[in-house]
Amino acid sequence: MVTFERGVNSGFPAANHRWETPLSIVLFSALFIFAGVTASGVTIHQQPGKSKPDAVKPATTTQASPQKHPTWRVKVVEDFGAPFVSVHAKKAPFSEVASEIGRQLKLKDPIHVTDKAKQQLLTENFDDLPLEQAVRRLSPHAVIDYVMNGGADPTYPARKQALTVYFLGSDEKAPDVPPWIMKDPSTEMYVGMVYATEDEQKAALEVKKKDLQVAYSDGLLTLHVHKQFLTDVLEEIAAKAGIGFNILTTNQAQKEIDQVVSWDVAAVSLEELTSTWFPSGIRLYSRTDLEKDVAKPLRLTIESNQDAQAEQNVTP
């Protein structure tokens, strides 16, 4: 304990009165006063034990970064079952534009852009062009794979749909085995006749030779068919055209499996035959080389007719 004395007028009763103050309080007070004095003057300090008020920061203005405008736009619309494409691009990445076209087309297999084609920057402006014209505008080296259903039944008219598009370099070609080809053998059906005797089989083959005649020349077919199973006719057409034939439906009751046909057709393309004579369960797969302006068939199939099945399910 330290004792401080102060002098007062002796005339007062408080003369010689003493203050008794702990040393720790005195030292703290001195330190507090000293810290408040700075080179620039006196700084006001808050008292101990009280929270420090938040410092007021100067207002800052954040300038919004300019909005980046896309360098390309794509729109695909369908009219009477056919797609029409619009593209507006200025030095846009080719692969991005191509990918968006494929997405809007809802292709079975994504658009294929080779490494050489990906290096291009695209600048184009056009509206509502048919698919093949649009693809030609985008690249001089392009191939489109298609599928078409049979159109003999007016309820289910023939429709040719793109499966995928290949954008290629100048010295590249589309794959011989397309990625969309089904490779699962468990989904394929095989049909055929079983004869009781060898003589019966020989007689049937003689009748078939006379009543099932198919000729193929320069991409055109001529058929003379009388009361033959459709599967046999399709198998013969595929053999003459040098393509595969597969039965990919698992529905043994599907009409195309045991349908009997009689046709007399001269000098028609396989695509015309499909759109006019084949029933709706038949599919023709084909490929069009836009650079060479050449189309060729790839294979024939019998597949489940989803449209017919859907109608059957809702028919009362």
Q: Is residue 263 part of a domain?
A: yes
Distance CA 51, CA 6 (A): 36
Measure CA 140 to chain center: 23
Q: Is residue 249 part of a domain?
A: yes
Tokens of residue 19, six digits: 């203050």
pLDDT at residue 13, as a whole number: 43
Q: Is residue 64 part of a domain?
A: no
Which pLDDT tens digits describe the chain residue by residue (316 residues)? 444 444 444 443 443 444 444 444 433 444 444 444 444 444 444 445 444 555 555 544 344 444 566 789 999 999 988 999 999 999 999 999 999 999 999 998 889 999 888 888 999 999 999 999 999 999 989 999 999 999 999 888 999 999 999 999 888 899 888 887 766 565 677 777 777 788 888 888 888 899 999 999 999 999 999 999 999 999 999 999 999 999 988 888 899 999 999 999 999 999 999 999 999 999 999 999 999 999 999 999 999 876 554 333 333 3
The SS3 call for residue 254 is coil
Quick one: CA torsion of 156, 160, 161, 163, rounded to 10 degrees? Answer: 120
Contact 279, 153 (CB under 8 A): yes
Residue type, 135: V
Residues 26 and 81 in one domain: no
Q: How many structural domains is the chain composed of? A: 3
* Dihedral sign computed on CA atoms, order 301, 274, 82, 74: positive
Residues 33 and 96 in one domain: no
Distance CA 316, CA 308 (A): 14
Our CA angle for 117, 118, 121, nearest 5°, is 95
Distance CA 134, CA 304 (A): 32
Q: Is residue 107 part of a domain?
A: yes
Q: Is residue 212 part of a domain?
A: yes
Q: Is residue 137 part of a domain?
A: yes
Q: Is residue 95 part of a domain?
A: yes
Domain that holds residue 25: 2-7+18-42
pLDDT at residue 187, as a whole number: 65
Residues 190 and 254 in one domain: yes
**What are the DSSP calls for 93-147, one per residue?**
EHHHHHHHHHHHHT-SSPPEE-HHHHT-EEEEEEEEEEHHHHHHHH-SSEEEEEE
Q: How many CA atoms lie within 13 A of 119 on its CB side?
A: 5
pLDDT at residue 185, as a whole number: 60
